[in-house]
Amino acid sequence: MKRRMMVWLGALALAMGTGGVAQAGTNSDGMPLNAPTATVEVQSEGGASAQATCYYPVASGGALVCFNPTGEHLYICDRAADGHHPVARYYRSDKSGLKTKHANVGNGKCLDWNLSIPESGWVDYRACNYEGSTALSCSSFSGRISAKG
C-alpha cells in the first residue's frame, strides 16, 4: 500500500511539473497513441464489407468486441468457424442496466452497432461466445472507454 501511494505521488509530482496536466499524445480519433487497436471486417446490411479500425479489443473464444469513438461504433466480430456467434454485453453512460447485442454475421465478419453515445459519455463492454441463447464464455469488461473522438 505504501509503495502504491509513493508511485501515485510521484506521478502527481510529474504532472504538476508540467503545468498540472499530464497529457499523452492522441491519434485522429482522440484515443491514446498507445491504445490497443484491431482492424476488423465490417459487413453492411446490403452485403458489402469494409475494413474499420477500433480500439480496446476484448475477446472470448471466437468472439471479439471493440469500439471506435468516431461515430460511437461498437464492433461485434466472429473470429472462428465454430458454429457459435459473438455477443456484446455492455453498459453505457446514458442508459441504465446491462445491454446485450447478438451478432449472427459469420466467421471473419463484424456487426457495426452504432451506439450514438454523447461525446461526454462512455461505454464498458465485454465479448461473449454464444451457442444459441447460452453463453459459453465471456471476456472481462473493457473498462470505461470514452465516446469522445
CATH level 2 (architecture), domain 35-146: Sandwich (2.60)
Per-residue pLDDT of the chain (149 residues; tens, 9 = 90+): 333 333 333 333 333 333 333 335 677 666 667 788 888 988 766 777 888 889 999 999 999 999 999 889 999 999 999 999 999 999 999 887 999 999 999 999 999 999 999 989 999 999 999 999 999 999 999 999 998 86
Residue 49: the pLDDT is 80
How far apart (Å, rounded) are the C-alpha atoms in residues 52 and 55? Answer: 10
Name, in order, each residue with C-beta under 8 angstroms of 91's C-beta and a sequence gap of 6 or more. Answer: 97, 98, 99, 123, 124, 125
In residues, how long is the chain?
149
Residue 50: the pLDDT is 85
How far does Cα 53 stand from its chain's mean position?
11
Residue 142: the pLDDT is 96
